[in-house]
Structure 1
């Protein structure tokens, strides 16, 4: 099974959030004893913490984040917390005297700040002393800013970047550079912004997209950086990410995952609990074979997972290579109905519940098709930057089911990339609505 190291330290922020919630509740128990044992109060302060941390982007701390920025986030977080508590104190029955509230806020801020700063510096020590939690990088370009970034990577080991190579675009064959990046399993590519106007640029961008490499731009000192750029700073060196993905944001991921858990749980409990026995009987009555069809498909970061469906075909040896087509003899009579109504896809809500899939996202392909399209279709692999979905934007715009020609898969990729770069809760809800609408309306390619 193909694995790829994640772009972020996945467990640090969730663990830190849990620790913070435990601390604010424990201190409330001891410092505001009049509310000991009152569950609604602990729910209230926990929700306030989550709301304010979303508003202040409190947990968006990266390896290159400056310590001043961290203190700024801490200050904003606790000011907003205090405002929310005070507002409640003024609107509803007073739950604490101002003096007690201030003591609680100050003590909480001190303890949580110590923990946050300790984790931040512990990771720096882990990277510099033990070489862990690092990313392999290359730089392409020339100029003063390139030297500054090279010195930053080489001298600031605590940031966890391992510079493997620096290349000047004019002095090397760009294909040799890309082959080197692939051979060395480079995580991030840094490229001078002046290369945007060169022939090499498109080749580098396409390579990064098709191989799931992080690409970032290095502007020259005299280049203006507009407000629309999501600029990062490595010390004082400005770095511009190639692509901004809403679901790279921790809070957006929490929102989407929470929605997936709630939605999939409701479907499993209230629909699949009685539908699975019914469909199982009908499948067994018509043909021999398993009730569920299991197939390995490609998910986020091109990792593989087992996708579940109701079996809609007679047992055959071509299911992992040959896509279903119109009038396909392998499809059973019941299979025609459950495929037409998309009932065969419903077991994928177990995949959503387990975290392999999302309710909405790019549809996952068979491994053999992923390998084929990755070679033929430019930017096809960008679809794997987020979790695959049961339904997606491409499917609600006429590109579901069989891929009959390259135009179908090219347009599917275009819709998927648009979704990845423009995700929102409302877009998910719209896609779910269109999916349900299309099921009742009927679709030509639902076979």
Structure 2
């Protein structure tokens, strides 16, 4: 009989995964058993400062008391009805999320990829019903180096060969242009274009922040050309960059915003498409759905997340602590860091390849009690919970300095 997890070491648990788990991830060799706030603890009792926060799913830290309380309270009442019936939590969730984001309507789903797929379907339906694009001719303009998820439709318009290879044939209807290039985007838009779909900041690509004016330019261009602007804020949204949404840094209001990750408070998967009534209003019963989308437990947790953001406290923390993060990384430029990009509590840090790959640097940080994750080549991402303290943040930067200047 297999020994209970709590009696097995990290090494034993990692070895136990090998024959039974599909190898779709390459995790760091740390086995997390418990967590609180910005800290996690492995099965041996070693503590680590979490500087990844579940790729922004844990914006409010691990087990935030208000979110845990909301989940417990709802678990004692009702967890799932499906959308075959109404439930008493969904209306408030939709109303408050719409108000928080400055939009009219909400389409609740579960995962980020579902939100993206929903956004694609909505854009196409709008193009046929409202814009008058001939049937099955709608196109969507996307950016190179994007990351919107892992479904076959989404990887079909990725430029990451690891994500694409072996999964075709892919759905047509997408045009890929360079990110941060308005001229290329304009050239790709024609009468068949339903929407432009971009990340306001490209997370998986290494926290790539576009030039000032790019997002405003996308908004102006899509209005002028008569197509939709769909912003994927699944990683960048809900406080991460110092604003509720990253597009707010340029005062931009897209037609549709895709949300996920942090919307579930690190407890349950919750995603949503929020947008104008003109676009979300094209859906009719039976045309789109989700068994778990908008379930009572998700709505209760999502409402508690919105309550935290309504105060503005977490957006302010991300902005204020982001200055400490940026200043700390600036001090490391030329001392193992060759460049970085940061906005709020989110940074992509390019490490001198002579010092190590992103994976190697992440493993060294792990040995120092800091958890981060590599992306491409020698780039690592830093995205601590918005509950991190200034002292904890400075400690993490100090650990990065140590692994860069002392080597392995």
Q: Who wins on radius of gyration, i.e. which is larger? A: 1
Structure 2-normalised TM-score? 0.26
Return the structure number with greater helix share.
Answer: 1
Structure with greater contact order relative to length (CA < 8 Å, sep ≥ 6): 2
Return the structure number with greater strand share.
Answer: 2
Structure 1-normalised TM-score? 0.25
